[in-house]
Structure 1
Amino acid sequence: MSIIETEPQALYRLTDVTRTYRTKGRTVTALAGATAEIRAGEFVTIQGPTGGGKSTLLQLLGALDRPSGGSLALGGTELSTASNRELGRLRAEEIGFVFQGFNLIPTLTARENVAMALVPLKIPAEERRARVDESLAHVGLADRGDHLPGELSGGQQQRVAIARAIVKKPRVLLADEPTGNLDEEMRDEILVLLESLCAEGLTLIVVTHDSAVAKRAHRRLRLKNGRLTEV
C-alpha cells in the first residue's frame, strides 16, 4: 500500500485584497492587491516599513475589519461577506491575539486575565477553571496564577497574554510585535514557546521588525506598497 503525502491545508487565502480609507478628505491605500496563502500549522512572519499596512493586514486576518475589495477566506468562511455574528464567533473561538503591550488588565490576577478570553464562550465554571490552569501550565506559569501583572516580569506578562490567547484552543494565533518590549533573553524564551505551540499544530502569524524573529519562521512575507511578496 502506498502512502501519498499531501500538503497542509490552506488556512488563509488572500486574493487581490485591498483596503482603503478616507481620511482628511483623501483616500489612503493600506493594501493594494495583496495575495498570499497561509497553510495550517505554519509559522509565518510579516515584515515591512512602518506605516506600510502590516497592522491593517493583521486586523483583516483577525476578522476585526473587512477588505475594501478582493477575497479573504479563513477556512471555508469568506471574511469580506460574512455576517458580523459569524466574524464575532471566529474571533471568540478560532483566533487568538497577542500584542506588544501585553494588554493585561492590571487589577486582575494572571488567572483572571486568562479566564476573560472564555467569557464569550459561556463555558461551565469547572471546565473554565481547568482550561485556565492548563493554559498557564502550558506557558510555564502554573505557580503564578494569583499574581497581578505588576508583580510579573515583562516576559511573564507576555506568557500570560499567550495563555489568554490559547485558552480557547484557537486555530490561529496572530501576534503584533510580541517580543518588541522584551530584551534578547526574554525574546528568545517567548520565541521558543511560540515555536512549541506551532509544533503542536497552531498556525502562527507574527508581524515583526526584528530580523532575529523573522529568521525563525517557516516562511517570511514582506508587505511593501500594499502588496505581499515572499522573502
Structure 2
Amino acid sequence: MFQLVGVSKTYRQSRGEVHALDGVDLTIPTGQLVAIQGPTGGGKSTLLQMLGALDRPTSGTVTLAGHEISKLRDRELADIRAHEVGFVFQSFNLIPTLTAQDNVEMGLAPLGLPAQERAERATQSLASVGLGDRASHRPGELSGGQQQRVAIARALAKRPKVLLADEPTGNLDEGTRDEIMDLFETLWRQGLTIVLVTHDSSVARRAQRRLRIAGGKLAESK
C-alpha cells in the first residue's frame, strides 16, 4: 500500500532550514493498523501528509497504491486524496448548521456522485459507525464521541483504501476514546488499512504496529 524510500522534507524558515523528515524508509502493507508516536515537532504530521498525498518530499520517493506521489500533478494528487484516502482529524470539522447526514454527503462532493448515491452512501456510513438513528441531528445535538463518529463516517463514505487519522481521540474523554478505538479496530478487522498519529500510549498500544518518529527519523517501537 505505502512505500517510502529515503524520504526527506526540508522547510525554509527565518532561522534556517528545518528537516521535518530525514531519510525515512517505511513500508506499510495493506491491512495494517499502525500507530505513530513522537514529540511535538518530531515529524509526525509531516509524515502523515506524505502518506495522504498532501505534500511532496524534498528528496526520496513516496509510493501510494502504485502511484509515485512526487511525479504526479496536483490534479492527480487531488484525485488520489478523493478516492484512495480518508482523513480523520482531532477537530471534527463538521459544519454546525448541517445534519450528520448532510455533513457526510458534503464530504462526497469531490467525487461528483449523483445525489441519490451520495445519500445512500452517507446513510450506510452513518449506520456502520452506529449513528443510523442520529442522521438528522446537527453537531450541537451530538456528544464529542458521536461527532467524531460522524467525521469517521464522512471519511468512510468515500470507500477509501486507507484511513489516516491525526490525533483522532485527542479531544475525547477516556471512555469515549476507547469507544472510538473499538470502532477503528472493527474497521481494521474488516480489512481497512489505518494509520493514526497519537500522543496517547493507551491508543498506540492497541495498534498492530507501533512506530516512533523524533527529529525526522523513524524507528519501529515495541
TM bracket (short chain):
over 0.9
2:32 equivalent in structure 1: 42
Residue 150 of structure 1 and its aligned partner are, at CA, apart by 0.8
2:90 matches 1:106: no
| Residues 109 and 147, structure 1, Cα contact 8 Å, conserved in 2 | yes
- Which of these residues, 26, 37, 56, is aligned with residue 46 of structure 2? 56
Distance of 1:144 and 1:83 partners within structure 2: 39
1:230 equivalent in structure 2: 220
- Which of these residues, 60, 78, 86, is aligned with residue 68 of structure 2? 78
Q: Which structure 1 residue ranges, 4+ long, deviate > 4 Å from structure 2? A: none
Q: How many residue pairs were aligned?
A: 221
2:13 matches 1:13: no
- 2:57 is matched by which residue type in structure 1? P
2:118 matches 1:118: no
Distance of 1:25 and 1:199 partners within structure 2: 45
Distance of 1:35 and 1:199 partners within structure 2: 26
Distance of 1:24 and 1:194 partners within structure 2: 40
1:205 equivalent in structure 2: 195
- 2:90 is matched by which residue type in structure 1? Q
- 1:82 is matched by which residue type in structure 2? L
- Which of these residues, 187, 190, 206, is aligned with residue 177 of structure 2? 187
Gaps of 5+ in 1: 1-10
Residue 80 of structure 1 and its aligned partner are, at CA, apart by 1.1
1:31 equivalent in structure 2: 21
Q: Where do residues 133-212 of structure 1 align in structure 2 (5 Å cutoff)?
A: 133-212=123-202
Residue 224 of structure 1 and its aligned partner are, at CA, apart by 1.4
Distance of 2:214 and 2:67 partners within structure 1: 27
Which digits, 9 at most, give the CA deviation of each residue in 1:160-183, with x for residues without a partner? 000000001000000000001111
Q: CA RMSD in A?
A: 0.8
Which digits, 9 at most, give the CA deviation of each residue in 1:58-111, with x for residues without a partner? 111111111100011002100111111110001111100000111111111111
Q: Where do residues 88-103 of structure 1 align in structure 2 (5 Å cutoff)?
A: 88-103=78-93
| Residues 172 and 204, structure 1, Cα contact 8 Å, conserved in 2 | yes
| Residues 35 and 227, structure 1, Cα contact 8 Å, conserved in 2 | no
Gaps of 5+ in 2: none
TM-score after normalising by structure 2: 0.98
Identical positions, percent? 62
| Residues 34 and 228, structure 1, Cα contact 8 Å, conserved in 2 | yes
Which digits, 9 at most, give the CA deviation of each residue in 1:126-168, with x for residues without a partner? 1111111000000000011111111100000000000000001
Distance of 2:187 and 2:38 partners within structure 1: 25
